[in-house]
Amino acid sequence: MNKITAAITAVGAYVPDYVLTNKILETLVDTNDEWITSRTGIKERRILKDETKGTSFLAINAALDLIKKANIDPLEIDLILMATATADMPVASTGAYVATEIGATNAFSYDLQSACSSFLFGMSTAAAYIESGRYKKVLLIGADKMSSIVDYTDRTTCIIFGDGAGAVLFEPNYEGLGLQDEYLRTDGDGRDFLKMTAGGSLLPASEKTVVDNLHNIIQDGKSVFKYAVTYMADACEMIMKRNNLTHDDIAWLVPHQANKRIIDATANRMDLEDSKVLMNIERYGNTTSATLPLVLSDFEHLFKKGDTIIFAAFGGGFSWGSIYLKWAYDKN
């Protein structure tokens, strides 16, 4: 029997209706549209305004979008991986709730968290389950309600993040398509540069942590940018060298949507022309775990069977990496 590879066979997505534009942000913090656009590439981001709904709401809708478009029975799904940095609750699994709500009651599910690298690492995990031969349908969801941990008086973070969700289905492939190789890394020395200080076991929630505003994400923007530019580009260069790929071999770069300048630096290192670099950061900002599947959803119509796609991400932890995948289907 031919070797089993793990291929993406369907894509779904969901973003909230409310659009937070740069112009609106100008009324909240000391910033302006030109400054935000020139430094990040972001014009607007989507926000889930309903305070009674969490990340699971976004994830459920992305999963249902995939199920409808792919016309699959949720009961056939074996496993759901929930990539998120903003789980509904600290203990109860968001993925388990999502699985039940979409009718995937034969699946087991769990959450996977590595900040903005969560979905990339989830791709590796999903592929390993498929390649084991024990599972036929693995649903990987990337979803984050970043507005729940953003301080909208902090202009270093509130201009960057948005809410959204995306989902992909991994299935066995016997034509050599799907995930080919991965280069994934972490470095714990970077955790102080991008974090949410309170709410974990190190500093549990208390009246003081709330008063001191320690439950929102903070970042040292200059340090994060420096590391992200270097490490994301390094990972892509490594995956290309290891697989003897040139810029001509690559059909598309699907990068994490954190900052346009980081994406441009990565593309330049890979010697890729702009037409091969997929971006929707202008419309969504950084949706953390959802950026990669949202790019896939927005540009799925361009992909052709056999296309070589390079994925790249960088996140808190620090965590980063690159994945080389061959696309498995034509949209139409």
Global pTM reads 0.97
* Per-residue pLDDT, 233: 96
Q: Which CATH architecture has domain 180-327?
A: 3-Layer(aba) Sandwich (3.40)
In percent, the amount of the chain with pLDDT more than 70 equals 100
* Per-residue pLDDT, 1: 54
Provide the mean pLDDT of the chain.
97
Tell me which residue of 8, 38, 2, 5 sits closest to 254, measured CA to CA: 8
Sequence ranges of the chain with CATH classification 3.40.47.10: 5-176, 180-327
Q: Which CATH architecture has domain 5-176?
A: 3-Layer(aba) Sandwich (3.40)
* Per-residue pLDDT, 332: 73
Q: Which tens digits make up the pLDDT trace of 88-128?
A: 999 999 999 999 999 999 999 999 999 999 999 999 999 99
* Per-residue pLDDT, 40: 96
Q: Which of 116, 158, 236, 259 is catalytic?
A: 116
Q: Which whole number is the average pLDDT over 161-175?
A: 98
243 is catalytic: no
Q: Which of 22, 216, 259, 286 is catalytic?
A: 286
- What contacts 24+ positions apart, CB below 8 Å, involve 106-110? 106/75, 106/76, 106/77, 106/78, 107/77, 107/78, 107/79, 107/80, 107/139, 108/78, 108/79, 108/80, 109/79, 109/80, 109/81, 109/82, 110/81, 110/82
* Per-residue pLDDT, 2: 80
* Per-residue pLDDT, 85: 97
* Per-residue pLDDT, 261: 95
256 is catalytic: yes
Q: Which of 61, 158, 216, 256 is catalytic?
A: 256
Q: Which tens digits make up the pLDDT trace of 254-304?
A: 999 999 999 999 999 999 999 999 999 999 999 999 999 999 999 999 999
215 is catalytic: no
In percent, the amount of the chain with pLDDT more than 90 equals 98
